[in-house]
Amino acid sequence: MPAADIAPAATMLYVENVTMRFGGLTAVDDASLNVPKGSITGLIGPNGAGKTTLFSIVSGFLKPTGGRVSFDGADVTHLPAHELAEKGLGRTFQIVKPFAGLTVAENVAVGAFLRHRHRADAETVAERVATRVGLGDRLDAPAARLTVAGRKRLELAKVLATEPKLLLLDEVLAGLNPSEVRDILPVIRGLRDDGITILMIEHVMQAVVSLCDRVFVLAQGAVIASGTPREVVADPRVVEAYLGKGAAARLARAEAADA
């Protein structure tokens, strides 16, 4: 569905014809997408497709070569990351880097200081948020001692402490085993149920199908498909983007032979 098909009043994030070039390399190519308020929207695609670059543009870490980004009805194309955070746009990072010398509670409190000047208030928020993501029993633990799953939860808690309206999740499930993935899915779903709009980059298709209302597919910097998760995974263009040219036809022949 084209981005213009959803009225601005119902849209939390609207990316319109965004392009990002690094010298002669086009990392994002005239990409458009929209994220309705109150939804979980997925952004998928093969490695190197430009997904994280697009996240960096949306969150103010990169300025696009062309195009426009609107957040909650306002043009924010050229706003820096800290101003977007103040407006309620938060993101996680694919490579998590907690403050290793601080405890879990102290890490989360760093995010809470965006809205709460007094330490006691920030610590109260940190305890509540850490408990929500499953780290309530690790508040005093050094962040450096957390497992991969624990660090992923801490990354989520740090951004939740900033009280975002829109949450960008960059492969928050990467590196988790199947049981850890199952444990965190209800947490993400609960955030949406509490009114936080979510745009997530994810390779774990089980999670995409389970969580996402709509999905956009990026390949070589361009949006090549969008729709429900089941529509997208059945799209021949998506199959070929992941598996190579001719893959869709080969799969169709194999299915016909098995029938």
Domain architecture of the chain: domains with CATH: 3-88+164-258 (3.40.50.300), 101-161 (no CATH)
- pLDDT tens, residue by residue, 141-156: 999 999 999 999 999 9
Closest by Cα among 104, 111, 101, 233 to 160: 111
- pLDDT tens, residue by residue, 15-28: 999 999 999 999 99
pLDDT at 2 over 90: no
Q: What is the pTM of this model?
A: 0.89
- pLDDT tens, residue by residue, 228-240: 998 998 888 888 8
Return the pLDDT at 5: 44
pLDDT at 1 over 50: no
Spatial separation of the C-alpha atoms in residues 98 and 112, rounded to whole Å: 15
Return the pLDDT at 4: 41
Spatial separation of the C-alpha atoms in residues 212 and 191, rounded to whole Å: 13
Return the pLDDT at 234: 86
CA distances to 41, 52, 227 from 44, rounded to whole Å, are: 10, 10, 12
pLDDT above 70: percentage of residues in the chain: 90
pLDDT at 200 over 60: yes
Return the pLDDT at 187: 94
Tokens of 63: 């300025």
pLDDT at 244 over 80: no
pLDDT at 132 over 90: yes
More confident residue, 242 or 237: 237
Sheet holding 11-22, edge to edge: 25-36, 11-22, 66-71, 74-75
Return the pLDDT at 146: 94
pLDDT at 3 over 60: no
Return the pLDDT at 204: 87
pLDDT at 209 over 80: yes
Q: What is the DSSP string of 29-73?
A: EEEEEEEETT-EEEEE-STTSSHHHHHHHHTTSS--SEEEEEETT
- pLDDT tens, residue by residue, 70-129: 999 999 999 999 999 999 999 999 889 999 999 999 999 999 999 999 999 999 999 999
The average pLDDT across 33-41 equals 96
Spatial separation of the C-alpha atoms in residues 240 and 126, rounded to whole Å: 44
> With contact defined as beta carbons under 8 Å apart, do 227 and 242 qualify?
no
